[in-house]
Amino acid sequence: MIFDTHAHYTSRRFDGHRDEVLDSLPAQGVCGVVECGVDLATSRAALALAETRPWVWAAAGVHPESLIEDDASTVYEFHGDWRAELAAIEPLYGDPRVVAVGECGLDHHWPVPEDAQLALFEAELAAAQEHSLPILVHDREAHAETYALLKRYRPRGILHAFSGSADDALWIARQGMLLGFGGALTFKNARRAVEAVAALSLENIVLETDCPYMAPEPFRGKECHSGMIRFTAQKVADIKQVPLEEVLRITEQNARALLGV
């Protein structure tokens, strides 16, 4: 059974066919999805979506890119005051359908003010500790700062779309976090991700889509959905030289144990 630990079905790209896509997933073997918020508005939408289907859960948080995106509630509602937005998000952490803090983290690919995103991420790490929730971490071209905070806070959670080295993967796993791999693992230039999967135990790995983005080969560039995880799982199976069913079973168990679902 497929457990997608990182999805964005509330994205506008699913407008007009969201229910059709979601309703098709159980027949494709999907048994679990974590819908991730990136600001207050999408965190509320993630929870509303989770309430429509028993196999969908929500994560609530503020993504670093939301600090600069005009269509993020961080900007249009809170005018960049992420502290006020986090205070508005905090009551969501008491809802049983909200199983993680996130998506949150650091991003040096886009021109997000570094001081603000560092302070925001640290506040969300503290919130995860306070509410005894795992955290879903975004790390894009920000390994040094992300790793420093992970070492300081030692959270439970998932390092989403892992893009570091095999050595990095091993110490992060030893610290107790899981490593998330999605469609990018199947790309021809995925050498580092392949090396990381080879070095890790299956007990340290979870699968994800980041849908509607990052569709695996042979669907690269197309709209992604949770059923496509089967292709990522097959790549993991090939690397580890184990049956596909074993990869799906163990990664599902890892996700459920972490999220408590």
- Rounded to a whole number, what is the largest CA-CA distance in the chain? 50
Helix ranges restricted to H, the chain:
18-24, 40-50, 73-76, 82-89, 114-130, 143-153, 166-175, 191-199, 229-240, 244-259
Per the annotation, binding residues are 6, 8, 103, 138, 160, 210
Q: How far apart are CA 261 and CA 77, in angstroms?
A: 32
Identify whether the C-beta of residue 98 lies closer than 8 Å to the C-beta of residue 127.
Answer: no
Hey, where are the domains in the chain? 2-259
Q: What is the pLDDT of residue 61?
A: 98
Please identify which residue in the block is written with the tokens 């030289």: 241
Residues across the chain: 261
Facing residues of 59 across strands? 36, 100
Q: What is the pLDDT of residue 7?
A: 98
Nearest C-alpha neighbor of 139 from the set 167, 170, 175, 180: 180
Identify whether the C-beta of residue 94 lies closer than 8 Å to the C-beta of residue 58.
Answer: no
| Composition of the chain by helix, strand, coil, percent to 5 | 50, 15, 35
Q: What is the DSSP letter of 211?
A: B
Q: What is the pLDDT of residue 239?
A: 98
Q: What is the pLDDT of residue 215?
A: 97
Side chain identity at 19, as an amino acid letter? Answer: D
Q: What is the pLDDT of residue 68?
A: 98
Per the annotation, binding residues for a divalent metal cation are 6, 8, 103, 138, 160, 210
Please identify which residue in the block is written with the tokens 């030692």: 154
Nearest C-alpha neighbor of 175 from the set 155, 159, 193: 155
Which of the following CATH numbers is that of domain 2-259: 3.20.20.140, 3.40.190.10, 3.30.565.10, 1.10.10.10?
Answer: 3.20.20.140
Q: Sign (positive/negative) of CA torsion 42, 53, 124, 180?
A: negative
The mean pLDDT values, 10 residues at a time, for the chain of 261 residues are 97 97 98 98 98 98 98 97 98 98 97 97 98 98 96 97 96 97 96 97 98 96 97 98 98 98 97
Q: What is the pLDDT of residue 26?
A: 98
Structure tokens at 220: 């690269």
